[in-house]
Structure 1
Amino acid sequence: MERIVDTEVAVVGGGPVGMLVAAELGLLGVRAVVLEARPAASARPKANTLHARAVQSLARRGYLDGVADVARAGPQPFHFAGIPGLDIAAPQDEPTAILKLAQAELERLLERRAVAHGVRVLRSHEVTGVTQDADRVHVEARTPSGTASFTARYLVGADGGSSTVREQSGFAADTSPATVSALMGQVRFADPGAAPRGWQRTPRGWVVCRPESDGTGVIRVLNFDDGPADRRERPTLDALRAQVGYVLGRDVPMTEAPYLSRFSDFTRVARDFRRGRVFLAGDAAHIHFPIGGQGLSTGIGDGFNLAWKIASAVRTGSGDALLDTYDAERRPVAEQVVHHTRAQLALMRPDPGLDPLRELFARLLTLDDVSAFLGGAVSAQEAVPAVGRDRAGAGTGAFLPQQWFKTDRGAESVTELLREGRPLLLHHADSGAVHAAAARAWDPLVRTVRVHGERPLARDALLLRPDGYLAWTSADDGLEGLLGTWFGPPR
């Protein structure tokens, strides 16, 4: 039996990126439905690294409340192309610069928040068709009880690298073919003491292994002598054993592998992240070689950038001017991630001729400026929204670091003030009243907060986007025009 469901926003894909978009929409009062083909969150080992900007963004909305290690202080050791010595730091009072959190756990955290905000999560709903017209997007899905049809004002495709939304909606993409492929397995070691640990480079490739105390672990092998494998070829434990043995030059006995997967350095970036009423986010929009664990964090950045803009379009009819900034701001970020991961893969190739270059990079990583630059790129802390900065005050586009302000309610932090997911105008009690009065014309869409004592960033007033980036300061004019672009005419 066919069911027809109408909603304001349909989100295809219930992984972390899709669940984040849905939770953010629900927080802002938007009716949303998540369509996910899987019956439950997968426990398979996938991405487990969240970098600093993603951690900071999630913390500002309270998604990481109660998660262990969030408050871990100080620079966190990392690597660049497998070369140790890169320290990734976050500003003082921010959460940890690197958080290890299983993708499945993050997905469940976000799903619980989405459901709490009234989002409908429909599992075992496999999307088979997507079309759009001037007013709505139309989605067909296969369910255990038959077919279902959904209509929505907007649709977000967060359905992974093999995105049905991307293919059905006609998104073009720029790609580069695979040159190597790797195997990953969640395995049990016959002799845990013989399992390799950490990053192992040989003249034939790399093995990266994280053994656990119970004799299991996740092992990855990258064989540069073998070339790219057929993506349709199903990985086997025998193939994993053979590849690890070849690269290491010794056998690593493994008795079982509950989960195996294959990945490569194939890259794809959609030429547009928006086509009409359809948007792409996460792996549906961009995929790359997963060195450095940047894929999940990049998708989280997509979700925070996109959700509040769609919510504004739904609630106020703000339309194309704001929605178009999603592509303009996020596609360059994805392209830069692809560029950096390809550079790292080039350094990882076991050609002896690259040894002097690797040694040079090892020395460069000890320099504070180099480490800060590369750490900022990997952690996305150097990424700033570009739209509108050429007409705004100094510093606009920066991510406002964690700090405390004295408000009418007492001491409140940036994290506490952004918890509601609304744009935030901070204005000084003595000198910012005129800006507060202008912003109140868009109440309750914009939250205004009076600050006592020191002026925020030495300004009479400043406007924060819901995703934490500085959009405007009183050093510039044009506040009403900016809010009009975001939310339509004053009310």
Structure 2
Amino acid sequence: MEQVIIVGAGPVGLWLAAELRLGGVEVTVLEARGERDPHSKALTVHPRTLEVLALRGVVDRFLAEGRRIPNGHFGGLDERLDFAALNTPFPFTLALPQARTEELLEEHARAEGARVRRGHRVVGITQDVDGVTVRAEGPHGTYHLHAAYAIGCDGTRSTVREAAGIDFPGTDATTWGWLGDVVLDEPPHGHVLNASGPHGGLMVVPLPGGIHRVVGGDPEGNHTGRPGQLTLDELRAKVVRITGSDFGMRDPMWLSRFGNATRQASHYRAGRVLLAGDAAHMHFPTGGVGMNVGIQDATNLGWKLAATVRGTAPDGLLDSYHAERHPVGAELLLSTRAQTALMNSYTPETAALRTLLGRLIATVPAFSLELAGRLSALSVAYPASEGHPLTGRRAPDLALDGTGLFALLRPGRHVLLDLTGLEVLQSPCHRATLTERPAEWSDVRAALVRPDGHVAWASNEPDDEALDKQAREAVAGTPR
């Protein structure tokens, strides 16, 4: 009997597989495609995802290959969000094609001991109180696998979600965008081009290998029926109408359309079946956030499911995955819907709204920082019923006497920090002083940080004996 089966070897499934292996769990990934998709739906790796990669010590390979862009956009506005003000080691987005991201993540998952089977399509799942039975079709015919848990990371048309009977309510597409990966003989200057007007809006982003991605929308896309296949001549005409130039467009590598259908799974867990990534939420791909939120889903789920399989999880730990990540998914849908309205409406009123929001971004630093924190996912905080204000929030890479917090989290275990400088805590902990103390950490004497980098407990208790008692109680509630 398998311990965990993951359906889908995209970025989310591969990252989850590595996280489960880090937690000591046997995992098999089943992927319907025989070969990796050469087309890259996602290009952008956001700051929080880079932090997540750093938590496991694998970020350097991504940084070495990706192109750093020091800002992001909200709704395609011309005024960019400056990420330099964000409290992170990675104040930028990283442009890296999804195909290469998947390749790096698969290497990581396999190195951790995950089994990845390509060309194995899951066609059915049943479950009972003891486990899950997965029916799959592979190169040698149909077979069954039995596991303790199954995870659907198999996209918006998830077989796992449907088999588990999880509802996927939302709205159908009412507008359609387009993209082309093409050669541009006369590309625009700068890292990224944003252009918008009454004829539509677009973005031009350089890719490796002398290719540019041209992505955008126009008034012709505002209808409910799916358009036909995009052609190079159609793409060229759209770009010329919006910008006045086709930038020497030729030799398309990929032409595609995408809609704004928006849905979210009603539950991320049904018994022994769970969902992550696009299987749990679908939306218009504005801001390049989808893959990032999915990887962050997997980071939240991985250590919780591993502890559950090991039998060391406290009551309710696995249920907290839905409780924490479903609201994040709902916020994602709210944000992408708002941005879609900005990007795919071309009335004078929308133009005025774009101008107003652009001015606020350019002139009100707090407004720009708030949007940047939301887009980058650095502002994500999980609900905490009581305790220190840091509880549930993401911990930055605290500078701890020559090391950083992220390095301490690489084994995928909780880290207890004694920041008193007096060796007050008696539980196994990392004793250090903060060489640089962020304002929100100014009074913290001890903290417990979860494997996913969020604060499980923190205290500024001045009494040493009481502080040690609080720490013991906090540690007692964590998986062994």
Normalising to structure 2: TM-score of the pair? 0.88
Distance 2:83 2:194 in 1: 18
C-alpha contact (below 8 Å) 2:13/2:153 kept by paired residues = yes
C-alpha contact (below 8 Å) 1:312/1:486 kept by paired residues = no
Give the one of 422, 426, 432 matched to 2:413: 422
- Residue by residue over 1:175-206, the C-alpha shift from the partner in whole angstroms, topping out at 9 and shown as x without a partner, is 122121012122245xx227797222131312
C-alpha contact (below 8 Å) 2:121/2:137 kept by paired residues = yes
Mean alpha-carbon deviation: is it higher for 80-89 or for 304-313?
80-89
Q: Alpha-carbon deviation of 1:483?
A: 4.6
Q: Alpha-carbon deviation of 1:418?
A: 0.7
Residues 358-437 of structure 1: matches in 2 within 5 Å? Answer: 358-366=354-362, 367-386=364-383, 389-406=384-401, 411-427=402-418, 428=420, 430-434=422-426, 436=427
- Residue by residue over 1:102-152, the C-alpha shift from the partner in whole angstroms, topping out at 9 and shown as x without a partner, is 212221222111111111011111111111111111111111111221111
Give the one of 462, 467, 471 matched to 2:456: 471
The residue aligned with 1:284 is 279
C-alpha contact (below 8 Å) 1:21/1:303 kept by paired residues = yes
Q: Does the C-alpha gap of structure 1 residues 93 and 330 become closer, same or farther in structure 2, counting only changes over 3 Å?
A: closer
Residue 450, structure 1, aligned to residue 431, structure 2 = yes
Q: Does the C-alpha gap of structure 1 residues 278 and 484 become closer, same or farther in structure 2, counting only changes over 3 Å?
A: farther
The residue aligned with 1:445 is none
Q: Alpha-carbon deviation of 1:383?
A: 0.9
Residues 300-379 of structure 1: matches in 2 within 5 Å? Answer: 300-318=295-313, 321-348=316-343, 349-366=345-362, 367-379=364-376
Q: Does the C-alpha gap of structure 1 residues 226 and 44 become closer, same or farther in structure 2, counting only changes over 3 Å?
A: closer
**What's the % identity of the aligned pairs?**
38
Residue 461, structure 1, aligned to residue 446, structure 2 = yes
Mean alpha-carbon deviation: is it higher for 81-90 or for 270-279?
81-90
Residue 10, structure 1, aligned to residue 10, structure 2 = no
C-alpha contact (below 8 Å) 1:159/1:284 kept by paired residues = yes
Residue 89 of structure 2 aligns to a residue in which SS?
Answer: coil
Give the one of 5, 15, 31 matched to 1:20: 15
C-alpha contact (below 8 Å) 1:221/1:243 kept by paired residues = no
Residue 178 of structure 1 aligns to a residue in which SS?
Answer: coil
Paired residue type of 1:76: P
Paired residue type of 1:355: A
Q: Alpha-carbon deviation of 1:17?
A: 0.8
Residue 321 of structure 2 aligns to a residue in which SS?
Answer: helix
Give the one of 235, 247, 253 matched to 1:240: 235
Q: Alpha-carbon deviation of 1:433?
A: 2.6
Q: Alpha-carbon deviation of 1:153?
A: 1.0
Distance 1:26 1:146 in 2: 28
The residue aligned with 2:113 is 118
C-alpha contact (below 8 Å) 1:129/1:140 kept by paired residues = yes
Q: Alpha-carbon deviation of 1:232?
A: 8.3
Distance 1:110 1:213 in 2: 19
Q: Alpha-carbon deviation of 1:256?
A: 3.6
Q: Does the C-alpha gap of structure 1 residues 358 and 323 become closer, same or farther in structure 2, counting only changes over 3 Å?
A: same
Give the one of 172, 175, 180 matched to 1:180: 175
C-alpha contact (below 8 Å) 2:413/2:451 kept by paired residues = yes
The residue aligned with 1:3 is none
Residues 146-295 of structure 1: matches in 2 within 5 Å? Answer: 146-189=141-184, 192-193=185-186, 198-210=193-205, 216-228=211-223, 230-231=225-226, 233-244=228-239, 254-295=249-290
Paired residue type of 1:450: R
Q: Alpha-carbon deviation of 1:429?
A: 5.8
Q: Alpha-carbon deviation of 1:469?
A: 0.8
- Residue by residue over 1:78-122, the C-alpha shift from the partner in whole angstroms, topping out at 9 and shown as x without a partner, is 222222232123655612331222212221222111111111011
Residue 296 of structure 1 aligns to a residue in which SS?
Answer: helix
C-alpha contact (below 8 Å) 1:322/1:486 kept by paired residues = no
C-alpha contact (below 8 Å) 1:91/1:401 kept by paired residues = no
> How many residues are matched?
463
Q: Alpha-carbon deviation of 1:463?
A: 0.5
Distance 1:18 1:223 in 2: 34
Q: Alpha-carbon deviation of 1:235?
A: 4.0
Residue 220 of structure 2 aligns to a residue in which SS?
Answer: coil
Q: Does the C-alpha gap of structure 1 residues 275 and 369 become closer, same or farther in structure 2, counting only changes over 3 Å?
A: same
Distance 2:2 2:415 in 1: 28
C-alpha contact (below 8 Å) 1:23/1:114 kept by paired residues = yes
Distance 2:404 2:328 in 1: 28
Contiguous gaps of at least 5 residues in structure 2: 462-466
Q: Alpha-carbon deviation of 1:322?
A: 0.4
- Residue by residue over 1:455-484, the C-alpha shift from the partner in whole angstroms, topping out at 9 and shown as x without a partner, is 985444211000111111244876555555
Residue 66, structure 1, aligned to residue 65, structure 2 = no
Q: Does the C-alpha gap of structure 1 residues 294 and 431 become closer, same or farther in structure 2, counting only changes over 3 Å?
A: same
Distance 1:376 1:62 in 2: 23
Q: Alpha-carbon deviation of 1:287?
A: 1.2
Distance 1:220 1:40 in 2: 25
Q: Does the C-alpha gap of structure 1 residues 133 and 457 become closer, same or farther in structure 2, counting only changes over 3 Å?
A: farther
Q: Does the C-alpha gap of structure 1 residues 229 and 244 become closer, same or farther in structure 2, counting only changes over 3 Å?
A: farther
C-alpha contact (below 8 Å) 2:284/2:336 kept by paired residues = yes
The residue aligned with 2:76 is 82
Q: Does the C-alpha gap of structure 1 residues 458 and 216 become closer, same or farther in structure 2, counting only changes over 3 Å?
A: closer
Mean alpha-carbon deviation: is it higher for 291-300 or for 40-49?
40-49
Paired residue type of 1:361: L
Contiguous gaps of at least 5 residues in structure 1: 1-5, 441-447
Mean alpha-carbon deviation: is it higher for 87-96 or for 467-476?
87-96
Residue 336 of structure 2 aligns to a residue in which SS?
Answer: helix
Q: Alpha-carbon deviation of 1:421?
A: 0.8
Distance 2:385 2:10 in 1: 36
Mean alpha-carbon deviation: is it higher for 200-209 or for 278-287?
200-209
Mean alpha-carbon deviation: is it higher for 454-463 or for 12-21?
454-463
The residue aligned with 2:464 is none
Q: Does the C-alpha gap of structure 1 residues 112 and 216 become closer, same or farther in structure 2, counting only changes over 3 Å?
A: closer
Residue 45, structure 1, aligned to residue 40, structure 2 = yes
Mean alpha-carbon deviation: is it higher for 106-115 or for 118-127?
106-115
Q: Does the C-alpha gap of structure 1 residues 369 and 401 become closer, same or farther in structure 2, counting only changes over 3 Å?
A: same
Distance 2:221 2:203 in 1: 17
